[in-house]
Amino acid sequence: MYSDACSSTVRLNIGGKKFCTTFDTLTLREPQSMLAAMFSGRHTVCKDSEKGYVFVDRDGKHFRHILNWLRDGVAPNFSDFENIELLREAEYYQLLISRFFFSKRGLMDKINIVLKRKDDEEKQSELTRADIIKIIRSKNVRLSGINLSGLDLSKLDLSSVDFSFACLKNVIFSHSNLHRAKFQDVDAENANFHNATLRECEFLRANLRGALLAEANLDRANLHDHCVIGCCLCDADLRHANLWEAKVTYTNLEGANLRGTKLGRCDFKGANLEGACVDHDIRLVTFNLEGVKLNGERMTHVL
């Protein structure tokens, strides 16, 4: 039992950082929390011999924000990364239900609401499909750095459009003409390029994690240093494409045409290359083929 439970001052040592607060602060706002339980008088709490600090084996980086929440009910305005760190601490201390709010939301709910709101804002495109159609009627279209998340841009002529540095998460490009379009440094996670024309496109340092590129035409496309983890490239045409230093882990390349493709220093861990056509001057230099499915009969003349 904590002997000073009825006194006003409580000393805490959180991972080496020392804090001084009150019994009421630790118990009133979130009565179902771990901290409230610790100082409820129902449990024995050990104190060190020096000034009576109670030690908790957690990182003390965000504990002042935990205390400020318990004092004032105000959550800090953090970045997503810091909010995730704070959420981890709120989970540990079980800050679930607040006695002082009509909504009964504790700090955990408060942080989760902020994270969801930011996520929803990121998913909203800055333009509509109608806006894009108007824009592409002009020459030298540039959509670089714009958030187009979730837009349906299927069956459009987007040839030579510059999408560099844009957010293209979940964008639908299926059956679109993207010949010579630029996708440098784009975030196109889970984008749909099914049956799209991507000939001579620039994908330098692009994030295509989880993208659908099945039956897409990537002839002579530059995919140098790009990320296509977990993608589908089934039956895609990758003739003479540049995949040098690409990360193609756990990607389905079944039936893809890789004739003349540059594949040096690629990571193909867990990829499926069954039935892929790679029989003409393919360069496979210092690559990772751990767990790769291969069809040996069509792997002739590999260097």
Token duo for residue 52? 């009576």
**222: nearest Cα among 193, 190, 181:** 181
Q: What are phi and psi of 276, to 5 degrees?
A: -70, 140
Task: Write out the DSSP string of 32-70.
Answer: TSHHHHHTSSSS---B-TTTTPEEE-S--TTHHHHHHHH
What domains can be seen in the chain, in order of their start residue? 9-120 (3.30.710.10), 126-303 (2.160.20.80)
Largest CA distance in the chain: 82
Token duo for residue 145? 């750095």
**63: nearest Cα among 25, 18, 102:** 18
What is the β-pairing status of strands 272-273 and 54-56? Answer: unpaired
The pLDDT tens digits for 228-282 are 777 778 788 888 887 777 777 777 777 888 777 776 667 777 777 777 776 544 4
Question: Is-contact 145 139, C-beta < 8 A?
Answer: no
pLDDT at 32 (0 to 100):
86
The pLDDT tens digits for 168-182 are 988 999 999 999 999
With tokens 């040592």, the residue in question is 13
Q: Which uninterrupted H or E stretch holds 26?
A: helix 23-27
Q: How far is CA 56 from the centre of its chain?
A: 32
Token duo for residue 37? 């339980």
Question: Is-contact 197 173, C-beta < 8 A?
Answer: no
The pLDDT tens digits for 44-89 are 777 776 678 999 999 999 999 999 999 888 888 887 788 888 888 9
pLDDT at 271 (0 to 100):
75
The pLDDT tens digits for 178-203 are 999 999 999 998 899 999 999 999 98
pLDDT at 41 over 60: yes
Measured distance CA(38)–CA(40) in Å, rounded: 6
Question: Is-contact 279 303, C-beta < 8 A?
Answer: no
What is the pLDDT of the chain when averaged over all its residues?
79
